[in-house]
Every structure is written in structure tokens, then in C-alpha cells.
Structure 1
Amino acid sequence: MFEIYFQSDFMGTKIGFYLTLVCSVLLILCCPNIKYWYENKLQFEKKVNFWFGFLFVFGFFVMQSLSFYCLVLKSNDIDSGNYSTVEGAIEDIQIVERNSREEAFTVDGVRFKYNDYGTENSFFANRKHDLDTIQEGRVVKIAYLREGNENLIFELSVRK
């Protein structure tokens, strides 16, 4: 009998993607009006070059869109069943604490490594490490996506 300890939540990623995409397009379409308003209507003593500010804001929306798009692709992989599962005892735990906490362990020959700061919020990174969920010998069932050399945990169940 397994109990789900962690499960990814991808709700809002598609909406977030479309919202940032729409904001990017609107920003481009409204650029002449925004430029006119910025240069002629705002009364600041010192103004930053319009194009510098515009490119900064536009770049932000593009990066957000790309981030959401990557999450949408991962969510689609999960929905289509294009992922792997492993079940077994946790072995070979390695913990490195610096400014953040990095953990690695193996389950049935599959290596998992994550960082509580650097891992996307949608995936398991043991941010509640004081709960001792990840322990040597604990039997777990893990559903994960393989991305490059990483195994991203989107569901972690613990044997009760």
C-alpha cells in the first residue's frame, strides 16, 4: 500500500503560457502608442532610453512564455503516458548543503538528483527535508520524466 507524498501540479501552465504570449503580442502591436506616451506624456527628469526598457519588458515576457511552454510540453508527456516509473528501496543517499540543499539517491538502479533551489517548482526537490521522507531503505514508488541526464520526479509515493 503506497501513499502519495508528492504530486506535481501543472494547473495554470497552459493559461500562463497563453497569457504571456498574448501580452508579448500586445506589447509589439501597441509599441508605437507606448513609445509616444512614454516620450511625450511622462514628465520624468531623467528617462531611460525607450528601446532599452521595451526590450527588457519584451524579453521578460518571451522568457516567461518559453518557461511555461516547456512546462506545457512536460505536462503533455505526463498526460500521454510518456514517462517512466520505478519502485524499490532508496539507496546511496548523498546530501550536500551549501547555500541550497542538493540531494541524490538511487532506486532500483535509477539515479535521482535535485536541488531544493534550482529544481523547477513543479517537480520534487525535497524542500521539506526536515520531514525525513527520503531515508535509506524506505520503499518508494516514483514516476519521473527523463530530461537529458536528469530524472525529474513528478510523483513520489511512500510505502506505509
Structure 2
Amino acid sequence: MNSFETVYDFSSGDGFSRFAVLLFPIGFFLFSKLRITPKIEEKETEDFFLNNLESQKNIAFIIKYFSLILFVMLLILFSIKYCKTYFLYKDSKIITQGFVNNFHPMPSGGHDSERFTVNGVEFKFSDFDISDFGYNNAKSHGGAIDENKYVRISYVKVKGSNQILKLEVRK
């Protein structure tokens, strides 16, 4: 019986988790808007950076608008990359299945990558690299790939490497 459990599927929305990076500039903006600006407006300059009120306003302005610009830039870059990956997945995906061989797990502290082959196709990824929308959950952080596990992988070739866009594990 060859029933598979889908662990990761880019096309089902799993790829959207990478957009969480956009929360950082939003956080900077909200911190500036809700925490720094009220202190300046209330003229609570004691125990606050810079004693000059005009300098404080300028810094708050820079933080707010820099975070907005960063948010827009990241949103555009991630959206373009997501669309490119989506069209590659729809038009150019390659499917392979077989047992995981030559498994090299990523250490839990990082500073290396997880590597393995399936049916002669090499795969490599790291938990700490979110530059693409492929599967990157290493065994040391709860990932599903392990030596001699039977998997079916849908992937695309991107810049000389194979990016996993759908991972299924045999039950």
C-alpha cells in the first residue's frame, strides 16, 4: 500500500509562512508610534534618549518611515519571489520518489545544512535560510526526513540546487 502523508506543500499555502518576516518592520513601526511618539508628545524627556525634543521627533520620524519603507520593500521582494516560485511549481516541477540515502542531518545549533539524496537526486537545505519558499525543516528541529524513509518529492531546480516544494512521506 503506497499511501502518502503530505508534510509540506508550497501550493497549499505552506509557503506563506515565510511572509512572517514582514512582522518585524510592522513591529518597529508600532513601537515607534505607540511607545516613542507619546513620550515625545508628553515631553517626558527624562530617562529617554536625547534631551533635545526636536532630535527625538526626528528620530521617531525616521524609525516610523524607515520601517514602512522596509515593509514595502520586503513585501514587494517576497511577492515577486513567491510568484516566480509558484509559476515554477506549476510549470517546471519534477517529481522523484524513493528511499532517503546519504542523509547528513543539520546540527541543532545550525552552522551546517541538511543533505540527502533520493533516487540519485541531491537535496540540501537549512532551517536558518528563508530566502526561498522550499521545505527547510531539519530533522534536529522536528523535520520529517530521515535515513531510509520512503518519500515522494516535487521539486524545481533553482540556481543549481533542488528546492523541495512538496514533500510526502509514505505512511
What number of residue pairs does the alignment pair up?
A: 133
* 1:91 to 2:101 alignment: yes
Instruction: Flag structure 1 segments of 5+ consecutive residues without an equivalent.
Output: 21-41
- Report what 1:67 is aligned to: 78
Q: Counterpart in 1 of 2:7? A: 5
- Of 143, 146, 152, which aligns to 2:157? 146
SS in 1 for 2:113: strand
Structure-1 separation of matches of 2:14 and 2:142: 26
* Displacement after TM superposition at 1:11 (Å): 7.7
Q: Cα distance, 1:95 vs. partner?
A: 1.8
**Structure 1 Cα separation of the partners of residues 3 and 101 of structure 2:** 18
Aligned residue in 2 for 1:48: 58
Q: Which amino acid aligns with 1:5?
A: V
TM-score, scaled to structure 1: 0.65
1:64-96 Cα shifts (integer Å, max 9, x gaps): 2111211111112223x3111111111101123
In structure 2, stretches of 5+ residues that fail to align are 23-39, 44-52
Distance 2:9 2:143 in 1: 17
Structure 1 residue 139: Cα displacement: 1.8
TM-score, scaled to structure 2: 0.62
Mapped contact 2:101–2:117 kept (Cα < 8 A): yes
Aligned to 2:145: 134
Query: What is the CA distance between 1:109 and its match in structure 2?
Result: 1.6
| Cα gap change, 1:151 to 1:117, in 2 (>3 Å) | same
Describe the SS at the equivalent of 1:154.
strand
Report how far residue 123 of structure 1 moved.
2.4
User: For residues 48 and 148 of structure 1, do their structure 2 counterparts lie closer, same or farther at Cα, with a shift above 3 Å needed?
Assistant: same
C-alpha displacement at 1:137, in angstroms?
1.9
CA separation of 1:52 and 1:126: change in aligned 2, threshold 3 A: closer
Deviates more, 1:1-10 or 1:46-55: 46-55
CA RMSD of aligned residues (A): 3.1
| Between structures 1 and 2, the one with greater helix share | 2
Kindly state the Cα deviation for residue 138 of structure 1 after the two structures are TM-superposed: 1.8
